[in-house]
Amino acid sequence: MDTGLAEYVVIKAKEQGVTVIGLTRGRDTKFHHTEKLDKGEVLIAQFTEHTSAIKVRGKATILTKHGMIETDE
């Protein structure tokens, strides 16, 4: 995959302990990376040949090329 064209998302924690989970591509979807964010911390994540989905648990603001999403939790 050309990383110059890869899609990025920005996740900003609105509370302590927000969990960001990277999920794999392939025949079976599996967790491959987990990060814990404290309130105010920002994570910039990239979709790659290994990452097909990103799951966010907790209160966070998520910015993508498609717009901004606020979690309800």
Report, as an integer, the average pLDDT of 6-25. Answer: 92
Q: What is the pLDDT of residue 46?
A: 86
Q: What is the pLDDT of residue 7?
A: 85
Q: Which amino acid is at 16?
A: Q
Examine the pLDDT at 35 and tell me if it is beyond 50: yes
**DSSP, residue by residue, 11-53:** EEESSTTEEEEEEE-SSS--EEEEEEE-TT-EEEEE--SSEEE
Domain ranges of the chain: 12-39+49-57
pTM of the model: 0.81
Q: What is the pLDDT of residue 70?
A: 96
Distance CA 49, CA 71 (A): 26
* Per-residue CA distances from 18 to 12, 15, 27 (Å): 9, 7, 28
- Classified by CATH at the fold level, domain 12-39+49-57 comes out as Immunoglobulin-like (2.60.40)
